[in-house]
Amino acid sequence: MKNQTSNIAYFILVHRFPQQFKRLFKAIYHASNHYLVHIDQKAGETIHAEIQSFLADFPHTYLLKSENVLWGGYSMVQAELNGIKFLLDKKIQWDFFINLSGQDFPLMPQEEIQDFLSRNAGKNYIKVLNQAVERPETMNRIEHYFEETLDGYVGKPIKRSYMQNTVSYIGGQWMILTRACCEFICNSHEVQKFEDFYLHTFIADEGFFQTVLMNTSFGGKLINDDKRAIIWVADGDIKLRPKTFTEDDLGFLLTGGNLFARKFDEVAHPKIMDLLEARMEAMVEA
């Protein structure tokens, strides 16, 4: 077995499917890591109590105060910032921050993931694209004023200027960040103006962190790869959504050198998760 040198702080966003969350958690659990879980307020007290009871049996696990997180809202960014700050304030030892949803799943055992990160110390993995050049169809998200409410998003017919001397970037919500990167995001005075602006944008979680890291004095290494296996499919007005994997996607999942994949539904397609679990068990025993 390879040396385990990089400890991970996982931040997992959960809003439904508590049994699938438990399966994910067991697949990524390692005693040297730390695990922070946010359960959306909309999940309800029953799911919250069930997950809290489950986590009680595992050391190095924490629950973040539940907030109402809305898809497309800045609340997604705020949840990530709250999670990162919580993990830093705990004064616990970890080297990398990884965010996941409750419907993600690993493609490698924890020892393999830790080894990969130890061999790539100092690198941050996040998709980074010049928004105006490579995703011009998304510019409306930042060119107009949006206001988040408890029930949804209100787009106002107000066009506004972007931040001066700033290039907007986009990529995705999922990332693997070094502790130093997390400390910069939480402590640098340069970040506040980005928080103020992106508070009233749409789907801010796909561009906030990229734009901050590309337009400030942050000097760490950014790798344009979030290490996630995702197949994007058309979905009406949303345009793209992650395909729910089935056993037919096993070949795709095992290529590309990714560490995680999304998304899964253990009720509709349980076999693909069975296959991935069996493969990881075999890798650990080898």
pTM value is: 0.95
In a domain? residue 171: yes
**Spatial strand order in the sheet of 104-106:** 104-106, 260-262, 228-229
Q: Which of 117, 112, 110, 118 is nearest to 25 (CA)?
A: 110
Residue 115 belongs to domain with CATH number: 3.90.550
In a domain? residue 24: yes
Query: Which is more confidently placed, 73 or 152?
Result: 73
- The three-class DSSP label of residue 100 is strand
Show the DSSP H helices in 66-222 as ranges.
74-89, 110-119, 131-134, 140-143, 179-187, 192-198, 208-214
Where in the sequence is the domain holding 207, given as residue range(s)? 8-230
Q: 130 and 215 in contact (C-beta within 8 Å)?
A: no
In a domain? residue 158: yes
- 66-105 exposure pattern, b = at least 16 Cβ within 10 A, e = fewer: beebbebbbbbbbbbbbbbebbbeeeeebbbbbbbbbbbb
- 222-258 exposure pattern, b = at least 16 Cβ within 10 A, e = fewer: beebbbbbbeeeeeeeeeeebebbeeebeeebeeeeb
In a domain? residue 163: yes
- Sequence-distant (6+) residues with CB within 8 A of 62 are 34, 35, 36, 37, 86, 90
Condensed to tens digits (0 to 9), the pLDDT of residues 76-88 reads 999 999 999 999 9
Condensed to tens digits (0 to 9), the pLDDT of residues 58-77 reads 999 999 999 999 988 999 99
Residue 238 has pLDDT above 60, yes or no: no
Q: How confident is the model at residue 237 (pLDDT cuts 50, 70, 90)?
A: low
For residues 37-66, give the mean pLDDT.
95
- The three-class DSSP label of residue 178 is strand
Domain count, the chain: 1
Q: Which of 13, 66, 63 is nearest to 34 (CA)?
A: 63
In a domain? residue 259: no
Point out which residues pair with 37 in neighbouring strands: 12, 63
In a domain? residue 168: yes
Considering the chain, what percentage of its residues have pLDDT values greater than 90? 87
- Sequence-distant (6+) residues with CB within 8 A of 153 are 70, 72, 73, 146, 147, 202
Considering the chain, what percentage of its residues have pLDDT values greater than 70? 97
For residues 121-150, give the mean pLDDT.
94
Condensed to tens digits (0 to 9), the pLDDT of residues 168-197 reads 999 999 999 999 999 999 999 999 999 999
Residue 228 half-sphere exposure toward CB, CA atoms < 13 A: 28
* pLDDT at res. 4: 46
In a domain? residue 238: no
C-alpha triplet 75, 78, 80: angle, nearest 5°: 115
Task: Using DSSP bridges, classify how beta strands 175-178 and 123-126 pair: parallel, antiparallel or unpaired.
Answer: antiparallel
What's the mean pLDDT when you consider all of the chain?
A: 94
In a domain? residue 275: no
